[in-house]
């Protein structure tokens, strides 16, 4: 498991766009493609592009499935733990107020978020 610094934001910004960045990384799409896709979905649903329900619907449309993290250690199971337990596959993990892309056991973000506690996840494919 490895933290990989990645920032697909075309202006190198890192403020409030973690959902767009995580989806962009996980889907290997440009930041702008994901941004406008989420905006269209948000308009369709009359909600903000980074609202859970909006980006969840967007991910479902692109072959992702949502799962909850088991509650056996709700305050101690981290992103790093998840990466060690699931070394293969493409995921987006949702933490309190943040989203992170995981690909084959590596976590991609603009800061090292390995100690954050995930709440639920989206997995590419079943």
Q: Which residues contact 74 (CB under 8 A, 6 or more apart)?
A: 117
pLDDT tens per residue across all 126 residues of the chain: 699 999 999 999 988 999 999 999 999 999 999 999 999 999 999 999 999 999 999 999 999 999 988 777 767 899 999 999 999 999 999 998 899 999 999 999 999 999 999 999 999 997
Quote the DSSP letter at residue 75. T
Q: Which residue ranges make up each domain of the chain?
A: 2-124
pTM of this prediction? 0.94
């Amino acid at each position: 498991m490895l933290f990989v610094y990645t920032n697909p934001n075309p202006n190198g910004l890192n403020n409030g766009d973690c959902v767009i960045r995580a989806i962009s990384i996980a889907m290997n799409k440009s930041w702008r493609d994901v941004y406008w896709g989420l905006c269209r979905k948000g308009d369709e649903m009359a909600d903000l592009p980074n609202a859970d329900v909006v980006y969840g619907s967007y991910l479902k449309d692109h072959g992702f499935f949502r799962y909850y993290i088991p509650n056996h250690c709700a305050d101690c199971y981290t992103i790093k733990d998840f990466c060690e337990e699931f070394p293969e596959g493409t995921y987006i993990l949702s933490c309190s107020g943040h989203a992170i892309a995981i690909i084959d056991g590596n976590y991609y973000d603009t800061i090292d978020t390995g100690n954050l506690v995930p709440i639920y996840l989206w997995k590419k494919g079943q």
